[in-house]
Structure 1
Amino acid sequence: MDDKYITASQAARLFGFSRFYGSKLSKLAQKKGRPFPKKIGRSWMAPISEWEKIFNDPDIQPRKERKSVPKSKASGVSSRTDLITATTAAQILGCSPSWMMILAKRGKERGFEWPKKVGRFWLATKEDWEKIYSSTELKSWSKSR
């Protein structure tokens, strides 16, 4: 039996897992009452032979496979590389980012195809931002609709 002790992160790397998964399995092994790994300072330590038992434990549920979205079903926005944010467009066109975001919101309310909101960002091409910025329809706005 090999009595060289290694840490959970070293063992995880050796078996092809992340160090976080190694720590998680160490805590689970301790809760089950196993003698190894032992907590020494801030590290979980055990011999390599014990790490083999820990990482190959049949009681541990394997991680579910992540669902992957096919490229054809992905949004058209994510595949475009020529898109820039409202803040970047504001810097290029010489206005404030908040004004560009207001124009983007107004454009969406008026039914413009671009810009599109992705998360908290407004995205469009430089040409679309120039159209939005020069649009008198969006700049002259009344609150009564």
Structure 2
Amino acid sequence: MKTHVHTIVFLSIFTIFLLTTAFISLSSIGPLEQNKTARNLVTSLYFKDPKVQRDAAKGKLKIHPDRFATDVLSYLNPYINYPLIALVFSVLLNVLSLTLLKRNENLAGSLLMCAALASIFTIIPPIIQAISGYVLIEKDKLNTSIP
């Protein structure tokens, strides 16, 4: 194996670890309506709305902040599954890319690019995946340009 392949294997394993950690932390949030951090965030955003500030100054709030937070969070709660599915899909593409790395580096690089798209809402994993995928796809061009 070439040294760039060893580096990509290490980076892929590290990325799988990061994505698994993100999955565990995101799935441990539980129902958003019961999450204090999410509730406080929505309530603070509610009070930053100029119309709410005017209504609060007049003493005529149309909806109580707790009710607003409950409504918003219960609406958003079903959508928490989409990032979880994307994380699992990204991990599966990473594992598939690792298994195909010895046979077809271009396909492995393309799968890493797809995994980067699936995990785009995270920060570090898509950067690592995109760079690794680019190196695998463009390795022939990179090797010929280096003297």
TM-score (normalizing by structure 1): 0.27
Identify which of structures 1 and 2 has the higher relative contact order when contacts are C-alpha pairs closer than 8 Å and 6+ apart: 2
Bigger helix fraction: 2
